[in-house]
Amino acid sequence: MRAVLFDEFSTRPTVREVPAPVPSPRGVIVRVETTGLCRSDVHGWSGHDDGITLPHVPGHELVGTITARGAEVRRFSVGDRVTTPFVCACGRCPECASGNGQVCRNQTQPGFTHWGSFAESVALHDADTNLVVVPASLDSGAAALLGCRFATSYRGLVHQARLQSGESLVVVGCGGVGLSAGMIGGALGAEGVAVDIDDDALTRAARFGAVRTGNSPGCPGGGCSRPSPRPCRPGSPSPSTPWGVRRPPRPASSP
Ligand SMILES: [Zn+2]
Ligand SMILES: [Zn+2]
């Protein structure tokens, strides 16, 4: 199969023929339909991850179709269209038993612990614990991004912060995780406020339904002590995907 590899960190990757992967006993092989490019891929390519051995194939945000499965896989079959979280948990260790598979001691990550999805096919381990079926109606570009940025935001807002309808959500940094947080917050009925240092990012946040946006001043030294020259301003909520789409109306007595 063809894959994108780099032989040294921070060097130009090349497309080459490599051996096709085989499934682990609890894993599957997925023919990649779409793969995302993430800041984490840049960290891996730059040599910031001790777990990567060279040469390496990056890529962890993907959607595709199962073409082979290990003998112990029960919940998925060849032909299923699936996606995966960034962190694939083992499903058997104490962390997994406590519902914290994101810190599983035996976790695997395509594109980090083994070759990833910048290839025609990718191996995904512990399929029954991690994979999610993706309906044919869901756009592959959207589906490929669910397991990284959306799953990260969902864990933070739903499981940790327990965000409720009617509460306010301030998102600082409107990249992939931030925009996902805004959309999840809106689906929960929270009022989204977007903060970034990039007007383009704020425009995007407003398009996705942030009710207010604010451009904080550039902070090259890490400090934000100066007052912002561009204070918060109303956003332009989209009628199709507003962050506050299901927010109930405020009582008449509210200020
Ligand atoms: Zn990612
Ligand atoms: Zn585990």
Sketch the domain layout of the chain as residue ranges: 2-144, 163-234
From the CA of 229, how far away is ligand 1's center (Å)?
33
Spatial separation of the C-alpha atoms in residues 135 and 150, rounded to whole Å: 17
Q: CATH number of 2-144: 3.40.718.10, 3.40.50.2000, 3.40.50.720, 3.90.180.10?
A: 3.90.180.10
Average pLDDT, the chain: 87
Higher-pLDDT residue of 252, 245: 252
Q: What tokens appear for 252 in the block?
A: 């008449």
Q: Which residues have CB atoms below 5 A from the ion given as ligand 2?
A: 89-90, 93, 96, 104, 106
Q: How many CA atoms lie within 13 A of 193 on its CB side?
A: 11
Question: What is the tens place of the pLDDT at every residue in 41-68?
Answer: 999 999 999 989 999 999 999 999 999 9
pLDDT grade for 170, boundaries at 50, 70 and 90 = very high
pLDDT at 224 over 70: no
Cα–Cα–Cα angle for 34, 40, 44, nearest 5°?
105
Weakest-pLDDT range from 55-59, 119-123, 170-174, 227-231:
227-231
Residue 151, amino acid? A
The bound ligand whose nearest atom lies closest to the alpha carbon of 112 is 1
From the CA of 207, how far away is ligand 2's center (Å)?
38
Best CA proximity match to 77, nearest among 149, 119, 29: 29
- Collapsing DSSP to helix, strand or coil, 200 comes out as helix
pLDDT at 232 over 70: no
From the CA of 217, how far away is ligand 2's center (Å)?
42
Best CA proximity match to 24, nearest among 126, 96, 103: 126
Provide CATH code, domain 163-234.
3.40.50.720
pLDDT at 241 over 70: no
